[in-house]
Each structure stands twice: as structure tokens, then as C-alpha cells.
């Protein structure tokens, strides 16, 4: 830390050391501007924060409406069908001589014309052959679906439900494929027919998606076992899913059997379909890498919890029987349903070409690390990243390492490091930080006991639901909003 926060440590009489290490505010009364350690947030600051929070809430609701309905104002009413003319998607899954024959309109980009082959669209998004193959497969299915919806006659039969898994290591461009798909749908005014979901807020932000949990309508204090949907919930579900034909789920490795079964239940209710039809007939596209993070407190989708003869239909049909016998929990039943749903996947693609990293030595090391076959030279390569004058990382005070994120195991250490960052920046730019002090209340009453108030403010944020007693901030500091 001495190298990373040089502005603090170069000051022999560091006025912030006690404040940082004890995580408490040193009150200064009187004196001049030069000996002020930090400004406590006043009423105007608090009012500005409340306005900011309100604006964030409005922006969040507008973005949610955009993701749900394709418009900030639209409520999802009406089933809109685009009557643009699409060409007949008579293309094969396997490309001959690495060519792509399916012709379609492309995104509304000023640099492109609107009636060109999909190869131009692929080039616009710089998709490699593997990505282009996946893109073409999905586009052909989308076109078939649109043609069926526009002309429900014998010439256009309803396409088979698409249940696709796109796998591959990180950096192979899975998200790039979803970007191309979303842009295609946006050009044809069909964003209201496709939904992107992810199991975590961080993953959802990366692809402009919603979290799966937000679509389950269970709330933080509700559980699946005892949660009954009200008429209002049912009406909301129908509105949210009415126009959805396609659903993309990123980071599928973090989605467990139990969560997948709950999503299936919600979609079948919203679409008014039989429970034996996966996800209410919605076309699903799953993306992720099962070598990466597994689900939290859930069974992975690859769990071997079904017998070879179990199918989705007979698994669901035995639910009532097992409930009457009470020889299996509701959660175990739903885990089996989730596993049976995953076995319904009917199309699989794997991306193998690394797009994020071009260093052949590092890529080879990553491949061995991924398969658990590391060698001594791999270990030596990683050790070059240890901070030392003899290694690649000479000092944390040098660029780009002085801006690198720092990962720690304990929340208390994280809070102290963040405080170091704030006060180091304040000294660097000759600014006085502002400290926002938590306003703790007991049963909606202010706390009169000074000792109790100081005790609550001194608690580490891992004991206060992630809310610190003191939050120091300084102009232009980067902020990551993690509350969904």
C-alpha cells in the first residue's frame, strides 16, 4: 500500500491515519481551512444526495421498461408484429466452403444499405467463422418465427422451439454474438420480442439485461415453497412476457437446477401453456462456460440427479405423487425439473477461437490451467506478476498498476483500502473530502445516546448489510453501484 498510496505515506504527519484505520471521523472544531480533515455532509449535501437517488430510481425504472417492453413509456400492451418483408430463411446449419448464403436485412447503420447479404452484417460486427455460424442459425430461426406469425398458413409452419447452448471459454466472443442479435432485432423494431437475463447484477449490466431474480416476482423475503402469485402478480407476468419470443440467458453456469425450474414455472404461467412445454414455448439461448463459477446454494445444471429413463414429462407428472408421499422435498422436486429442462437443449455450439487475448504463450497457459494440467513453467510465468523490481510489475505506483483493482478477502480490509484511495486522491488534487455519516434510527426514532451512536457508526459494514457508518467521497472518484 505504501507504493499505491504514495501521497498519504509521503506525509510524515499523516492526518488521516487514525481516521482510516479506526474507520471513524475525527471531529475538528474551529481552525482554518488548512487543518480541516474532512467536511461532514450538511443538509444541502444530503438533499443533493436524495435528489440524485430519486433521479437514479427514475432512470432505473425507465431502463427496466425499455428492457421489458422496448420503450420507456410502453406498458407492454398489444402484440406488435413487424410486417417488414423478410426473405425465406432457407439456409443450412453447416456452411459449405465457409460461405454464408442466407440473405436478410441488417441493422440500421448509416454505413450500410438495408438490403444486403448477412455476410456484410457479420463483417460489421467482426464475427469470426464460429460466431457467424451461430448468428446465422439464430437469424434463420428468427425469420422463420416472424414469417409464421405474419402468415399463419400451410406455407409457413411453426418452427421447432429453439433451445440452444453456446459454450466456450471467457474471451471467445459469446457476448459479441448477443450484441449482433440484439442490434438486428432493434433495427427491425422487435426488441419487445427478445429478453436478455443474467443470474447476477454484474453479468446483467454487461449485456443490458435484467436479473433472473427480478423476473421471478418472489422478493427477498419470499421463498418459492410458500409463495403464491396474486392476481396482480399474474397480470404483471402476462404483460411482461406477452410479446417475448426469444430469451437469452448469460452466465448459465451460475444458474442452478432450482432457479431454472422457477423460471420455467413463471414463463409457463405467463404464456398459459402446459408445464411439459419448456419455458412456455419461448425460444431459449443459453450462454456460458461450465468451467467457470457454479451456482450459489443450488445444484449445477450438469448434476446427475435423474435416472436414464427420466424425461421432463414424467418428472413433472410424478410431482403430485411425491408430494402426497412426502418422501422428497419441494426443492428436490424442482431441482429434478430443472435438470430435466436442461436436457431438452436441442442445439449446441462451442466457440474455441480466443478473441480477447492474442498472446500464444498466455493462451496456452490458460488452456492448461482450465483443464488442470499446469506445468512448472506456467507457475513461473504467473510469478512474474508478483510485485518486485525483478518482475514485470515493478511497482504499484507505476501505470497501469496504480489503477488496477485490488481484491481482498475481508470486507473490513476492503473498506479501509477504499478510504485510503479517497484520502490519497484528496491530497493529490488538494481537495478536502466530504464524509457522509449514516443516520441510524431505532424504531424510526433518533438515537440520543452518544455512546450507542458512536458504537453503531464504528461497526464494520459486513455487520450492517454493506452500509458503512462513514462514507468518504471526493470529486471525480469512480463509484460502482452494486445495489440492484
Task: Write the pLDDT tens digit of every residue in 223-232.
Answer: 555 467 788 8
Residue 347 — pLDDT band, cuts 50, 70, 90? very high
When pLDDT is averaged across residues 272-285 and rounded to a whole number, the result is 95
Residue 213: other Cβ atoms inside 10 A: 20
* HSE-up of residue 41 (Cα within 13 Å, Cβ side): 18
Looking at domain 81-351, which of 3.90.550.10, 3.40.50.300, 3.30.70.2740, 3.30.70.270 is its CATH number? Answer: 3.40.50.300
Residue 15 has pLDDT above 60, yes or no: no
Which segment, 48-57, 166-175, 424-433, is predicted with the most confidence on average? Answer: 166-175
pLDDT (0 to 100) of residue 71: 64
Residue 4 — pLDDT band, cuts 50, 70, 90? confident
Residue 20 — pLDDT band, cuts 50, 70, 90? very low
Residue 27 has pLDDT above 60, yes or no: no
Residues 6+ apart with CB under 8 A from 204: 196, 197, 198, 210, 211, 250, 484
Residue 150 has pLDDT above 60, yes or no: yes
Residue 86 has pLDDT above 50, yes or no: no
Q: What is the pLDDT of residues 387-406, one digit of tens each?
A: 888 888 888 888 888 888 88
Instruction: Read off the C-alpha cell for 80.
Output: 406488435
Instruction: Read off the C-alpha cell for 159.
Output: 418452427
pLDDT (0 to 100) of residue 76: 42
C-alpha 27/C-alpha 92 separation (Å) is: 72
Q: Quick one: what percent of the chain has pLDDT higher than 70? A: 75
Pairing mode of beta strands 163-168, 116-117: unpaired
Instruction: Read off the C-alpha cell for 15.
Output: 492526518
Residue 194 — pLDDT band, cuts 50, 70, 90? very high
Average pLDDT, the chain: 78
Please check whether residue 296 is in contact with residue 251, taking contact to mean a CB–CB distance below 8 angstroms: no
Residue 131 — pLDDT band, cuts 50, 70, 90? very high
pLDDT (0 to 100) of residue 114: 36
* From-to residues of CATH 3.40.50.300 in the chain: 81-351
pLDDT (0 to 100) of residue 201: 83
Instruction: Average the pLDDT over each of 14-18, 48-52, 161-165, 441-445 and give the range with the smallest value.
Output: 14-18
pLDDT (0 to 100) of residue 73: 55
- In the chain, what is the straight-line distance between the N-terminal and C-terminal CA atoms, in Å? 31
Q: What is the pLDDT of residues 422-463, one digit of tens each?
A: 888 888 888 888 888 888 888 888 888 888 888 888 887 778
Residue 158 — pLDDT band, cuts 50, 70, 90? confident
When pLDDT is averaged across residues 322-350 and rounded to a whole number, the result is 84
Please check whether residue 337 is in contact with residue 316, taking contact to mean a CB–CB distance below 8 angstroms: yes
pLDDT (0 to 100) of residue 9: 59
Residue 472 — pLDDT band, cuts 50, 70, 90? confident
Amino acid at each position: 500500500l505504501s507504493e499505491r498510496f504514495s501521497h498519504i505515506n509521503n506525509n510524515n504527519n499523516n492526518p488521516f491515519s487514525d481516521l482510516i484505520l479506526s474507520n471513524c471521523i475525527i471531529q475538528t472544531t474551529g481552525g482554518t481551512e488548512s487543518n480541516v480533515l474532512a467536511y461532514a455532509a450538511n443538509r444541502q449535501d444530503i438533499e443533493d444526495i436524495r435528489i440524485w437517488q430519486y433521479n437514479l430510481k427514475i432512470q432505473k425504472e425507465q431502463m427496466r421498461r425499455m428492457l421489458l417492453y422496448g420503450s420507456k413509456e410502453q406498458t407492454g400492451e398489444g402484440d406488435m408484429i413487424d410486417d417488414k418483408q423478410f426473405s425465406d430463411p432457407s439456409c443450412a446449419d453447416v456452411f459449405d466452403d465457409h460461405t454464408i448464403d442466407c440473405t436478410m436485412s441488417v441493422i440500421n447503420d448509416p454505413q450500410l444499405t438495408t438490403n444486403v447479404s448477412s455476410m456484410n452484417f457479420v463483417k460489421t460486427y467482426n464475427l469470426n467463422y464460429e460466431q457467424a455460424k451461430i448468428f446465422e442459425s439464430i437469424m434463420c430461426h428468427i425469420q422463420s418465427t416472424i414469417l409464421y406469425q405474419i402468415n399463419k398458413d400451410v406455407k409457413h409452419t411453426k418452427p421447432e422451439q429453439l433451445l440452444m447452448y453456446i459454450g466456450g471459454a471467457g474471451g471467445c466472443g459469446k457476448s459479441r454474438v448477443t450484441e449482433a442479435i440484439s442490434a438486428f432485432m432493434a433495427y427491425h423494431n422487435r426488441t419487445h420480442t427478445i429478453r436478455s437475463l443474467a443470474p447476477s447484477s454484474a453479468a446483467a449490466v454487461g449485456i443490458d439485461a435484467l436479473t433472473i431474480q427480478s423476473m421471478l416476482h418472489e422478493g427477498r423475503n419470499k421463498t418459492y415453497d410458500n409463495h403464491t402469485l396474486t392476481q396482480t402478480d399474474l397480470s404483471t407476468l402476462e404483460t411482461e412476457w406477452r410479446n417475448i419470443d426469444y430469451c437469452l440467458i448469460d452466465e448459465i453456469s451460475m444458474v442452478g437446477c432450482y432457479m431454472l425450474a422457477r423460471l420455467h414455472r413463471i414463463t409457463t404461467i405467463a404464456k398459459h401453456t402446459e408445464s411439459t412445454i419448456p419455458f412456455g414455448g419461448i425460444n431459449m439461448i443459453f450462454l456460458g462456460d461450465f468451467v467457470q463459477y457454479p451456482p450459489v446454494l443450488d445444484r449445477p445444471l450438469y448434476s446427475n440427479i435423474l435416472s436414464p429413463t427420466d424425461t421432463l414429462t414424467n418428472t413433472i407428472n410424478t410431482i403430485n405423487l411425491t408430494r402426497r408421499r412426502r418422501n422428497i422435498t419441494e426443492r428436490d422436486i424442482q431441482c429434478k425439473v430443472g435438470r430435466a429442462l436442461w436436457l431438452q437443449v436441442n442445439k449446441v455450439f462451442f466457440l474455441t477461437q480466443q478473441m480477447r487475448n492474442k498472446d500464444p504463450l498466455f493462451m496456452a497457459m490458460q488452456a492448461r490451467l482450465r483443464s488442470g494440467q499446469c506445468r512448472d513453467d506456467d507457475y513461473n510465468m504467473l510469478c512474474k506478476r508478483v510485485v518486485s523490481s525483478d518482475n514485470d510489475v515493478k511497482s504499484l505506483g507505476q501505470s497501469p498498476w496504480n489503477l488496477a483493482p485490488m481484491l481482498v478477502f475481508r470486507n473490513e480490509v476492503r473498506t479501509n483500502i477504499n478510504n485510503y484511495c479517497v484520502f490519497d486522491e484528496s491530497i493529490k488534487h488538494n481537495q478536502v473530502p466530504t464524509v457522509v455519516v449514516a443516520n441510524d434510527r431505532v424504531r424510526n426514532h433518533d438515537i440520543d445516546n452518544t455512546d450507542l451512536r458512536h458504537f453503531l457508526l464504528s461497526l464494520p459494514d459486513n455487520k450492517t448489510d454493506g452500509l458503512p457508518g462513514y462514507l468518504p467521497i471526493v470529486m471525480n472518484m469512480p463509484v460502482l453501484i452494486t445495489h440492484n
